[in-house]
Structure 1
Amino acid sequence: MTDSDPTLALSTPPDDIDTVQDYVQRVLEPHTDIVGIDRISFETALVELASNVIQHAAAGTGITCVLSIHADDHELSARISDSGAAGAVILSAPSFPDDLAESGRGLALIEMLVDSVHFERVAGRNVWTISRARHPLP
């Protein structure tokens, strides 16, 4: 990773969500002008998305991922592509499963924290893109 190309390539295993969290911190650390709620919401959504990719796309066999983050004066965005199997992804209005469900909250949480979530299958890879508009500093 360089300052001009903030991209992380990882393979699971051995890489895991800690690798992603460290990367997010390194990339966003210089951006001291990001309002707290924007940073926390974006980071939480991105780490949740990466966790879902690692957990579900890998299906116990491991995957390779490429993660990139872009921050400008107006928006925070990230793109994750992975080598996992194609999944049946349905993006809609965020809704949570019933209280007793053990899973199913990840995508709803992500959709609530960012302005856009996009999924597509491109050249045999799952590609996720999220973005959140930035608020001006007070």
Structure 2
Amino acid sequence: MTERTLVFRTPPDGVDVVHDRLAALWSEFPAVSDTDRMMFETALIELTSNIVQHGSSDTTIVCRLDLDADDDALRAVLVDTAEPPRIDIGDATMPDELAESGRGLALISAMVDEFRLERDGGSNVWTIVKTRSSPPS
């Protein structure tokens, strides 16, 4: 198993810090298929982007990202200090094809096998899990 943790603040940090941490994870755990990697990374970057763009707080939002990869799955737990989001991720569906926004949560749900949001005290706890589609090389 390979684990990585990242703490960042938004502002000033954005999705670049998550891209960097994922690059480090892939270099230490290279046996992940290109498809699994792309789907997991796309879902996580979309989730992070949503928090950076839509998260509300009277102060800086502090985020902690825990990543782990093993022979069975890729996992991310992203905890943020933003206000509780006014969404139901279980109802996430693709909007009309002409809509200019609103695809993020549905995209995340489509890319991973597990996507959930829980509220723990003053934090949002987002979890995504992508079951690996092929055995490690």
Q: TM-score, normalised by structure 2?
A: 0.90
Pick which of 75-84 and 94-103 moved more.
94-103
Local SS of the residue matching 2:54: helix
Which ranges of structure 2 fall in alignment gaps of 5 or more residues? Answer: none
Structure 2 residue 54 is the aligned partner of structure 1 residue 51: no
The offset of 1:89, in angstroms, is: 2.4
Q: Which residue in the other structure is 1:73 paired with?
A: 71
Q: Which residue in the other structure is 2:135 paired with?
A: 136
Give the Cα separation in 1 of the matches to 2:24 and 2:135: 22
Structure 2 residue 42 is the aligned partner of structure 1 residue 37: no
Aligned pairs for 1:1-138 (under 5 A) are 6-58=4-56, 62-92=60-90, 94-134=92-132, 135-137=134-136
Letter in 1 for 2:50: N
Letter in 1 for 2:31: D
Give the Cα separation in 1 of the matches to 2:62 and 2:71: 31
Listed one character per residue, the Cα deviations across residues 31-63 of structure 1 (whole Å, up to 9, x for unaligned) are 111111001100110111111111111369531
Aligned length: 136
CA contact (8 A) 1:66 1:80 kept: yes
CA contact (8 A) 2:95 2:102 kept: yes
Give the Cα separation in 2 of the matches to 1:94 and 1:9: 27
Q: TM-score, normalised by structure 1?
A: 0.89
Tell me the percent identity.
42
